[in-house]
Amino acid sequence: MTNQEYHAHKAISKSKLDAARKSGRHLYDMLHGPPRESTAAFDLGTVLHASALPGEDPDSIAVRMPSGMKKTTKEGRAFVAEHEGKIMLSPSDAYLIDQMMASLAEHPFSQALVRGELSGQSEQSFFCTDDATGLELKCRPDFLLNDGSLVLDLKTTQDASPKGFQRSIANYRYHVQASHYLDVIESSTGKRPQAFLFIAVEKVRPFATAVYMADEAMINVGKQHAREDLDNIAKWMSEGRFPGYSERVEEISLPKWMLPKEDGTPVPDHPPIELY
């Protein structure tokens, strides 16, 4: 199954769980609204995946623009037209890809992936039916070992340190992804992978790489949140009604960082800045 065919399939993916976590209206827009335009950050991640994962071909989806060429010039417009449909990598984009690939190749674990030394397959599609709701579910792991023991997921991030990547896990609900993928693969194949690994590489200097394994607590919380999302999706689909945020009048306060402190500390006029 191609990536396009996978994304066109109506089964519930992790991204649809994320939309449902926001509201029914967000889910409905994802299901029935026009496709969202790609972003520069998404395109960069797509090219990195194609560069790092065995069996993928970055040249089939992206092309590097010659140094000094601009898309707005006659020469640049001709170059873009010649490579229509491909992601255009500026010299700075190409530099980021090269630096991230170099970092992945230096880490003792991820180097085996980018060198093609791991026995497994990239971008396989898995489907199953959720017993509790009857919804069809899907996932497409970046890489799964042939023996089914490990799921590897490649992430670009601003900060790959333990504390920094914890923030990414919380912000982007990677814990839900880990649980969802493990459950779908188990239901689809009859065998549950032993672990879900994040390969996190920084997309800013110094482009450090770290590899993390989702622990049991993360998986359990992810399973709980995914279950809440699936139950809501099933309810909305059954009723044919996809509500937005709360339909009641809700009380709202200031963010906690703006509220007076008990110890008399002055309230800042801007959010606290975390230094990395």
> What is the DSSP code string of 16-72?
HHHHHHH-HHHHHHHHHSPPPPP-HHHHHHHHHHHHHSTT--GGGTEEEPPTT--TT
DSSP symbol at 205: T
Residue 43 is predicted with a pLDDT of 94
Between residues 275 and 189, the one the model is more confident about:
189
Between residues 104 and 265, the one the model is more confident about:
104
Class of domain 11-239 as given by CATH: alpha beta
Residue 276 is predicted with a pLDDT of 43
**Whether residue 27 has pLDDT greater than 70:** yes
Residue 261, CA distances (Å) to 157, 227, 267 in order: 33, 37, 7
Instruction: Give the confidence band of 72 by pLDDT, cuts at 50, 70, 90.
Output: confident
**Whether residue 7 has pLDDT greater than 60:** yes
Residue 54 is predicted with a pLDDT of 95
Mean per-residue pLDDT of the chain = 94
**Whether residue 237 has pLDDT greater than 60:** yes
Taken as a whole, the chain contains a residue count of 276
Instruction: Give the confidence band of 272 by pLDDT, cuts at 50, 70, 90.
Output: low
Q: Where are the domains of the chain?
A: 11-239
Instruction: Give the confidence band of 178 by pLDDT, cuts at 50, 70, 90.
Output: very high
Range list of H helices, 138-215: 162-172, 174-189
**Whether residue 274 has pLDDT greater than 60:** no
Q: For 242-259, how does the pLDDT look when each residue is reduced to its tens digit (9 = 90+)?
A: 999 999 999 999 999 899
Q: For 131-177, how does the pLDDT look when each residue is reduced to its tens digit (9 = 90+)?
A: 999 999 999 999 999 999 999 999 999 999 999 999 999 999 999 99
